[in-house]
Structure 1
């Protein structure tokens, strides 16, 4: 096996004012002397008290909420649940979009010894019923009437649920239901409980140990029903240690929260890392307003899935096409110069004086204004993960002056196992392993990790847990990759996604799909070819950009299906596919493709809540299109 671990860090290291330690094989991991996220939460709230912890819009105006607000509401909420009968080690489910109350619930639940479990707002009523039943939740938080309706639809099947706590009362003032209470009522219950049990909240935090389960995070279920991954307090603190080294959050940093908090990536970036690094989190109004909110907040760092970075790139391309001829010329020259500079930076070579001078001019004339327009003018770095991203897209962001860094992690290793750094970056890789994380490549190419960040196992599923660990305790990630001589890790695909053609050729489709998605006309792609003579592809077009292409050329269409059916659009995508084919050997080239002519959302079974296509569902649902190509 090929293996690589980072050098053991010093026992105590100060990073941007945060003292962290994590020595492989030595427990516990510590952040500012705290070995649990709940004790660190208490320490931060005492230290920062009146300083702003969160901002959220109310009637279009940003409102600030302090660390004292954070502490007080988490305490009332946690004690309210305790008064209702929540016992240590029990799961509480949260069904809501991102908002400050999500964080109050997360920390309040953990502080009294409960286990916090998020539910995607795009989940159906039947999916909610499965999660409530599997987790054994007796308490459920719902955001509003829309999410409450899902529970009411499956109330009889979810008989174990004793109380549903509603965050938003709009449209529900006349609600009368024995199981339903409003959040303000829970706060009042918590206040009353504290009055009779002074100091109990702090005592519960002191009882919490690093090995206690903190989170139950359900995997996206690309290959079946979701599994509940148990992450301990130690796992979370270990991720914070890795984050302090690899994704340092500085005092007074501004962040934007918009990805689902159910997902470990956003949970780390917008809940736990800001607690460790004392940052301020701003909540986007909705996924639809994220680009507007990004401009308003102008965060110091911004982490998103590749789909978001692709969308920003596509928008800029469209705006550039709509510019005047002189505007397009200036933009193209600026990007050309930026790419020259980026190639030196990414190769870790000194940038020649001439290139630096040209870049300074175009930065002043074009690129600085572009970053300001995007809300990236104060951004020290951008982060991407959770799915493959095109190396060319990373180059483009570096060209405009945004250091986009790709990392790697999964729920089962607390979301962060390796990452590229601004001055230690190899494009196309996901960086070196984080301090304290051992990484090796098994004989079949599988990436395996070892560290304090490895999860405890799957909830009530010992068999699947056993399958996920090797005999010597390493986590089987299910991802295929390689480690180079410098210790950089590259992901080449998923073990279960490897295509073996009829000719016996092994092909990992991830790189081909990633190259296709770099086209601003292609939103997603699934390569087909297992046990077939050649490769084909199912493609989702980018609606906004393809519609504009069609309108500019007066191509008639009435809806999305007719847009996909037009010969001009088919020819457009054919050209994009042929361009990508040039980068691959003949056996890896796409011989035919079909367009998926329905718009998909996270509510569709083909997509996960994090907007990744479920290969098995896509192949099954569109079997007719696939057979046409063979």
Structure 2
């Protein structure tokens, strides 16, 4: 049995000190290496390294609470560097590892960063010109080769471990998280140690998490969901954190980790699903799952192949997920709870309870969360997880926080008489057709995404007579398109009828357009958490919307 006793602490850093002292030999971080080997780092080793790097940061004589940036893909030393920044009395500013040079420079200068840690990156040479001159650059162990980087090993060798257990005031600024904005300058969300602790600790109270549990870290640690669910939660509960190496090794990394608690965005759960039915036809799998004994064995085999057979708690968040996706996993015996939150409240707002599942609804407010709907139907929430504000943006802070402390989420939703929340779209995503009717695209997109041949979908229709949907095919859909495009077109025509029968007349789609372009993080169509950037999609294809709408075809292929 693991340790299920909650530590008496006021911050994640204080929790680390206690775990470092309590079980220094216990493995905390498991990092795959480029040569195929694995590095296991204990709590004591993590503490020794963090203390040595903290001692170096203190030697630089930066003003108290200086901002130290961190640019790296997920790795064990991302967390160790973050601990070092906090131990030294500073504020961490994580950046997405795939930023352009211009975007990186913009954030580094806006955040007033005094130094930057550089870690595991895919294209350092492209980002390198974005580093402001004279900004000290410190390399993590998996950092790219660069003579300007002060190596991690040299930091460890040149500095004795910082002594003692310096603690911040709980209300002090801990981090500035820049949102992955789709347009303009991302906003720097200021989160305190207290708000990060409140969020993670209360989530842990909802589940029976112990230091025997295992986490898999693969979503960007600079995003609030991974930061809270993996980093802060593991510091508080003592879980072991395994890291993914590359996209190609992800399945192997999952098999190594066999996580017991797992957070996935909708697209990850869909990819798992599509991967299974690409190997065994959906109809055959459904038939096998209905056979009493064989069905249980088949379900276990599927989950084992995905590395999900040890899961005790599975969570989905960061974007709407189709009910059919959740239902498919329930048939395998895996119940996925939906979670809802924002960077501005440490990702802490609403959570589905495994014992109280209500299809189509996210769940109930988390402990300590108040929620309400504005006259326009916008969800507003208030709790101790709410941000301090936007860095150097008092006017935007005032626009986002009401006078009585509620956070304006920008999401339109419904709350039933039991307190369950259902979101119907983003205020900024709602568009008006040429007939003057307003349409929320998210519910329509969820209906389309339930189809096994759909990978991603974006419903558009601003100033059009009727909306239309842009569809990107799943891997199985692409294979089918190569062998029998005509049949796939017929299937999508049936899907169009099914969806239009379930929505209001003004929401009915004029056509489906199969887009052959790839929508990826790298080409700017998706955020780092795999959400479509709607404005990029619309800007790319808007010149063809009217033509597609009046083509007379129900299902079109890009270029047709």
Same fold (TM over 0.5): yes
Residue 332 of structure 1 is matched in structure 2 by 286
Residue 312 of structure 1 is matched in structure 2 by 272
Residue 4 of structure 1 is matched in structure 2 by none
Distance 1:374 1:244 in 2: 25
Q: How does 1:273-288 map to 2 (within 5 A)?
A: 273-288=233-248
Contact 2:457-2:469 within 8 A present in 1 as well: yes
Distance 2:142 2:533 in 1: 36
Q: Mark the CA change 1:588 to 1:247 in structure 2 (over 3 Å): closer, same or farther.
A: farther
Residue 162 of structure 1 is matched in structure 2 by 135
Q: How does 1:87-98 map to 2 (within 5 A)?
A: 87-98=63-74
Which of the residues 49, 55, 62 maps onto 2:30?
55
Residues 1:548 and 2:479 aligned together: yes
Per-residue deviation, residues 25-45 of structure 1 (Å, max 9, x unmatched)? xxxxxxx22112211211121
Aligned with 1:288: secondary structure?
Answer: coil
Residues 1:215 and 2:190 aligned together: no
Q: CA deviation at 1:116?
A: 1.3
Q: CA deviation at 1:51?
A: 0.7
TM-score (norm 1): 0.82
Distance 1:171 1:274 in 2: 27
Q: How does 1:610-625 map to 2 (within 5 A)?
A: 610-625=529-544
Using the TM superposition, name which of 71-80 and 396-405 deviates more: 71-80
Distance 2:157 2:523 in 1: 39
Residue 533 of structure 1 is matched in structure 2 by 465
Q: CA deviation at 1:126?
A: 1.2
Q: How does 1:245-324 map to 2 (within 5 A)?
A: 245-321=205-281
Per-residue deviation, residues 99-145 of structure 1 (Å, max 9, x unmatched)? 11100011111122211122112211111111111111121111257
Q: Mark the CA change 1:222 to 1:213 in structure 2 (over 3 Å): closer, same or farther.
A: same
Distance 1:549 1:296 in 2: 33
Distance 2:492 2:525 in 1: 21
Residues 1:454 and 2:429 aligned together: no
Count of equivalent residues:
547
Contact 2:219-2:226 within 8 A present in 1 as well: yes
Q: How does 1:199-238 map to 2 (within 5 A)?
A: 199=163, 202=165, 205-206=166-167, 208-238=168-198
Using the TM superposition, name which of 425-434 and 307-316 deviates more: 425-434
Instruction: Point out where structure 2 has 5 or more consecutive residues left out of the alignment.
Output: 550-560
Residue 151 of structure 2 is matched in structure 1 by 182
Distance 2:321 2:351 in 1: 14
Residue 47 of structure 2 is matched in structure 1 by 71
Q: Mark the CA change 1:550 to 1:596 in structure 2 (over 3 Å): closer, same or farther.
A: closer
Q: Mark the CA change 1:146 to 1:383 in structure 2 (over 3 Å): closer, same or farther.
A: closer
Distance 2:272 2:385 in 1: 32
Contact 1:248-1:277 within 8 A present in 2 as well: no
Contact 1:528-1:535 within 8 A present in 2 as well: yes
Distance 1:130 1:186 in 2: 28
Using the TM superposition, name which of 390-399 and 582-591 deviates more: 582-591
Per-residue deviation, residues 249-296 of structure 1 (Å, max 9, x unmatched)? 222111111111111111112111111111111111123322232223
Residue 18 of structure 1 is matched in structure 2 by 5
Which of the residues 419, 430, 444 maps onto 2:362?
430
Q: Mark the CA change 1:479 to 1:145 in structure 2 (over 3 Å): closer, same or farther.
A: closer
Contact 2:31-2:75 within 8 A present in 1 as well: yes
Contact 2:101-2:130 within 8 A present in 1 as well: yes
Q: Mark the CA change 1:88 to 1:575 in structure 2 (over 3 Å): closer, same or farther.
A: farther
Which of the residues 407, 413, 416 maps onto 1:481?
413
Aligned with 1:406: secondary structure?
Answer: strand
Contact 1:18-1:276 within 8 A present in 2 as well: no
Which of the residues 407, 430, 442 maps onto 2:374?
442
Q: How does 1:347-496 map to 2 (within 5 A)?
A: 359=292, 361-496=293-428
Per-residue deviation, residues 33-62 of structure 1 (Å, max 9, x unmatched)? 211221121112111211111112233233
Q: CA deviation at 1:437?
A: 1.0
Residue 117 of structure 1 is matched in structure 2 by 93
Contact 2:3-2:212 within 8 A present in 1 as well: no
Q: CA deviation at 1:221?
A: 0.4
Distance 1:432 1:592 in 2: 36
Per-residue deviation, residues 181-220 of structure 1 (Å, max 9, x unmatched)? 11112223432xx5xxx63x52xx23x1111111111111
Q: CA deviation at 1:449?
A: 0.8
Contact 1:299-1:379 within 8 A present in 2 as well: yes
Contact 2:449-2:455 within 8 A present in 1 as well: yes
Contact 2:100-2:127 within 8 A present in 1 as well: no
Residue 555 of structure 2 is matched in structure 1 by none
Q: Mark the CA change 1:373 to 1:527 in structure 2 (over 3 Å): closer, same or farther.
A: same
Distance 2:238 2:147 in 1: 41
Contact 2:464-2:546 within 8 A present in 1 as well: no
Residue 354 of structure 1 is matched in structure 2 by none
Q: CA deviation at 1:627?
A: 2.6
Which of the residues 488, 498, 513 maps onto 2:445?
513
Aligned with 2:281: secondary structure?
Answer: helix
Distance 1:112 1:319 in 2: 51
Using the TM superposition, name which of 129-138 and 520-529 deviates more: 520-529
Contact 1:259-1:266 within 8 A present in 2 as well: yes
Which of the residues 526, 545, 550 maps onto 1:626?
545
Distance 1:472 1:486 in 2: 24
Residue 25 of structure 1 is matched in structure 2 by none
Q: Mark the CA change 1:97 to 1:429 in structure 2 (over 3 Å): closer, same or farther.
A: same
Residue 556 of structure 2 is matched in structure 1 by none
Residue 83 of structure 2 is matched in structure 1 by 107
Aligned with 2:279: secondary structure?
Answer: helix
Per-residue deviation, residues 583-605 of structure 1 (Å, max 9, x unmatched)? 32332221123233321221223
Q: Mark the CA change 1:265 to 1:188 in structure 2 (over 3 Å): closer, same or farther.
A: same
Distance 1:315 1:53 in 2: 31
Q: CA deviation at 1:381?
A: 2.3
Contact 1:249-1:274 within 8 A present in 2 as well: no
